[in-house]
Chain A
């Protein structure tokens, strides 16, 4: 299933509605009732229009505290792993396994050299670290693909497990921050942003709040 929208908020609300109406329920390992759609594609044509919109909506609820927007961005742009995180996206991108800066030393030079390259992919999954069944905290964002077409940088991210209500708004913003950084470095505009969620899900305990978001 593919959901397309001009805006981030539009894509988010449509996806939430679709999962709520068509998802299948199951109880996960943490005993939470989860409603899921497998392999959901969400495409935002013009993410820059309202990229922080979904985060702002979540921020308006008093029931919880959503992470500050600059901290969300730091997670993907920071080269250093904060000792208080068990992993972080930034170090995986900019210093994978202390061996390669996938963004500055591979992706950007590659796309500068060959605008139409089909090899512009970076990975966040580290098999020797993450392929351990006892580990509780592993990345959900697996890889990000960059394609430059019509002088615009289009990005597709693979997300293995995606909490569409709380997680997606932050994920889409993080990917956009990275997209913007790369686009600036290679001298082009940002294009569309697509997420491919292997498991796009929402939780039963969020249904009431999701309804409020969809109706608004």
Chain B
């Protein structure tokens, strides 16, 4: 592929998704400059590897996989995310709280979620373990299907489903401070 063709592919398939990349990067990190650097590095990597992109597939999944790998590489390199809570520890905490149940009024929950600002939701997301956060971003924010999310994260579809479910429970705990009775699902991965 010559450079001209690479540019055409990049600007046709990747460029329209740059806002998605930047937005997701912002949901992953609290530092706006870090998010922009992450988005930039992701897009440049996408350009350099555009020859591997299959135009018959969704660019969103391909690009998000690059974003995830870039994020992991950067975290490994500078250890800035060392403060992240491990998935196991958080899952254990969630398990502990799952015993605390109380009835909730759905209308009240809906009203409370509406009143919460996007920033509050994003802050709660940022507090989640990395894998859980990624799962919610892919499945519930960007609305990728479970199979696409599983391919990006390199885990079975069942793991994605259980992580998504657990992630929403964690968010519910953080945002609403209560939970309804439900059967606990273990991580399938």
Does chain A bind chain B? no
Interface of B toward A, CB cutoff 8 Å = none
Interface of A toward B, CB cutoff 8 Å = none
